[in-house]
Structures are given as C-alpha cells and as structure tokens.
C-alpha cells in the first residue's frame, strides 16, 4: 500500500480523534516536535526501526523525545501504529498531521531567511504584520543564512519575496548580461 496513503489515513484519524478529545492543538505541537527531532536524531530513528525493542518501550522513547506528557489520543494512536506494525511511517504520519492541521485551521506556513539572527521579538513583529497583510494565521520558521548578505527572503505558500542583498546583486548582474 502507498506510504503516503497510510500516513494520511492515520494522521486524519488522529486529528479527528484528538479534536473529539479537545487535544488537537497539543497533539499538533507534539507532532511538530517529533518530526523535528526524528530528522535530527539518528538514534531515535534507529530505536523506532529496531525490531528487538518492544513496542511499549518505543512508545516511551517517543514520549521522552516529545518532552513527555503525551495527550491520550496521541498515546492511543502510537499503540495502534505499533500494533499494526506501521512504525516505519511515524515521520510521515506526523508530517501529514501537521499538514492536515494547518489546512483545517487555515494556518499558513512560511520560512524567513535573514543574514543574522533577528531575535524573537523582531520575528514576532514581522509575523504579526504579515498576518495583518494576509488576513490569517501564520507560522514562520526563522533561518539564518549569512550568504544572503543582508535583508531577508520570505517564502510563503509557494511565493517567495527576495529582499536580500545577494538577490539584488543577482538581479543587477542578470540585467547587465
């Protein structure tokens, strides 16, 4: 069966169940954390894929990776995932859940690239201003990339605003050639 189909079905079922329990936002935060940690920590991937580790222990490993205190709907979904031996799809289930949650609650996701760290306060100001412009909720991931020299690059829903120095230099170079 298609991996994308499996993960989407589990994610949709979890979102529906978490919404029934009033835990959808808490599960969303845990899923974001899980997907981030899953990609950054190879030991976590190894532990989840390891057949010699019992399912209950794997659930505890995931709970610890997510900061503990998993919502009951998330714990039950983990039990179901391990019971049905779908543990290899956990990353894709978490990513599907995040996508479905954002779609359901009309949250746009963007990436803000700056040459230097702008700090949380400045990032919050930019996010608030962008939310006023687009008329909806926005989640922005801040990334530092010194290669852009100065300014910023904002990617949002397939659109890219390049107000960086390196982008301006590139456009000048293209006009001259």
**Among residues 86, 91, 88, 77, which one has the least CA distance to residue 38?**
91
pLDDT confidence of residue 147: 93
The residue ranges of every structural domain in the chain are 3-103, 108-176
Give yes or no for a contact between 93 and 14, defined as CB atoms under 8 angstroms apart. yes
Q: Distance between CA atoms of 177 and 164, rounded to whole angstroms?
A: 20
- Cβ contacts of 107 within 8 Å, gap of 6 or more: 101, 136, 137, 138, 139
Q: How confident is the model at residue 164 (pLDDT cuts 50, 70, 90)?
A: very high
Q: Which fold has domain 3-103?
A: Peroxidase; domain 1 (1.10.520)
* pTM metric for this prediction: 0.83
Tens of pLDDT, residue by residue over 51-87, are 899 988 988 999 999 888 899 999 999 999 999 989 8
Q: Distance between CA atoms of 33 and 94, rounded to whole angstroms?
A: 9
């Amino acid at each position: 069966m298609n991996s994308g189909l499996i993960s989407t079905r589990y994610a949709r079922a979890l979102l529906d169940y978490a919404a029934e329990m009033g835990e959808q936002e808490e599960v969303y935060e845990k899923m974001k954390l899980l997907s981030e940690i899953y990609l950054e920590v190879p030991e976590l991937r190894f532990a989840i894929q390891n057949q010699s580790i019992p399912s209950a222990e794997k659930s505890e490993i995931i709970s610890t990776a997510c900061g503990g205190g998993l919502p009951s709907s998330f714990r039950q979904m983990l039990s179901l995932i391990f019971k049905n031996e779908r543990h290899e799809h956990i990353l894709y289930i978490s990513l599907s859940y995040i996508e479905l949650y954002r779609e359901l609650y009309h949250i746009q996701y963007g990436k803000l690239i700056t040459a230097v760290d702008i700090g949380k306060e400045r990032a919050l100001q930019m996010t608030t201003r962008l939310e006023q412009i687009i008329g909806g909720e926005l989640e922005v991931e801040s990334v530092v990339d010194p290669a852009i020299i100065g300014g910023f690059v904002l990617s949002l829903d397939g659109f890219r605003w390049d107000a960086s120095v390196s982008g301006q230099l590139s456009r000048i170079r293209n006009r001259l050639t």
